[in-house]
Amino acid sequence: MFTLNCDRAYLFAHPERELTAEEQVHYEAALNERVRGVPAQYITGHQEFWGMDLIVTPAVLIPRPETEHVIETVLELYKADLRPQTLDLRTSTPDVRSQRSEVELRILDVGTGSGCIALALAKEFLLAEIHATDISAAALEIARANAARHQLEHRIQFHHADLLEGLNLSDLDFIVSNPPYVGESEEDHVQLEVRKFEPRNAVFAGRTGVEVIARLLPQAHAALRPGGWLILEISGTIAGEVDQLLRGWDEVRIIPDLQSIPRVAQARKPRT
């Protein structure tokens, strides 16, 4: 599909199609890159997330399917906690889309990388004010390109920042983040492809893996409104420690992914 720049249907519909000499060279070059260990997404330059085709380069982490649990958690909390409880009179069932647009949420995505989380939330919450930060200027360029690709560039404000430093944001409803959370002491257990090809500051947080989260928590606490939510992607390795760090927050919950690995931490800033 990458070599021919076609979709899967074309591939199945044209089994007789032979590669031209030029296509053959293109195909073999891609295969050689893959043999060298380069992730397929960096070769094709694309990855799907939340139904969107995103551009990826080695400047950004390749969005992972389990990160979609972060989006699902925000949607669930919104539905349970913030969505106005009105009914669509025609069907007597909640009209999710129009209700979603009724509340003007303020959302921040910390460490946006390709922009996948911020874009997915911009698609889901039509009136939300959305901010996204990254410490990497190169990553922010890709996130901006992805926003433009999906006509969301006017919906998201991108900031080059170390976590929330210098942002002057307050009264946020949600802070979401898939921060770097792998400890340098675990480096030997990390897939070689990740270690060799994905940006180091997107994956590794410090010696134990909680260093970035530990810095993020007080900054997030200060920027959330009372009752606002912090949603973090985490791993099984750091789940216990994150749970400890979230003492003093309300409604802390560690949510497993489809493989039953602790994957999302939710916590609410106390109302008083």
Give the binding site for ligand SAM (CB under 6 A): 60-61, 63, 67, 110-114, 116-117, 133-136, 139, 162-163, 178-180, 201-202, 212
What CA–CA distance (Å, rounded) separates 150 from 164?
25
Query: Between residues 110 and 267, which has the closer beta carbon with respect to ligand SAM?
Result: 110
What CA–CA distance (Å, rounded) separates 250 from 268?
5
Taking the complex as a whole, how short is the minimal distance between the CB of residue 18 and ligand SAM, in angstroms?
38
Query: Between residues 180 and 228, which has the closer beta carbon with respect to ligand SAM?
Result: 180
What CA–CA distance (Å, rounded) separates 156 from 158?
6
Taking the complex as a whole, how short is the minimal distance between the CB of residue 164 and ligand SAM, in angstroms?
8
Query: Between residues 30 and 40, which has the closer beta carbon with respect to ligand SAM?
Result: 40
Query: Between residues 99 and 134, which has the closer beta carbon with respect to ligand SAM?
Result: 134
Query: Between residues 94 and 199, which has the closer beta carbon with respect to ligand SAM?
Result: 199
What CA–CA distance (Å, rounded) separates 13 from 17?
9
Query: Between residues 173 and 198, which has the closer beta carbon with respect to ligand SAM?
Result: 198
Residue 226 · residue 272 · CB < 8 Å: yes
Residue 228 · residue 174 · CB < 8 Å: yes
Taking the complex as a whole, how short is the minimal distance between the CB of residue 166 and ligand SAM, in angstroms?
11
Taking the complex as a whole, how short is the minimal distance between the CB of residue 26 and ligand SAM, in angstroms?
28
- Helix/strand/coil percent split, the chain, to 5: 40, 25, 40
Taking the complex as a whole, how short is the minimal distance between the CB of residue 71 and ligand SAM, in angstroms?
10
Residue 263 · residue 181 · CB < 8 Å: no
Q: In which residue are the tokens 């493989």 written?
A: 259
Most distant CA pair in the chain, distance: 69
What CA–CA distance (Å, rounded) separates 259 from 104?
34
Pair of tokens at residue 245: 């760090």
Fill in the amino acid letter for 5.
N
- 3-state class of 131 per DSSP? strand
Taking the complex as a whole, how short is the minimal distance between the CB of residue 181 and ligand SAM, in angstroms?
7
Query: Between residues 3 and 110, which has the closer beta carbon with respect to ligand SAM?
Result: 110
Taking the complex as a whole, how short is the minimal distance between the CB of residue 208 and ligand SAM, in angstroms?
15
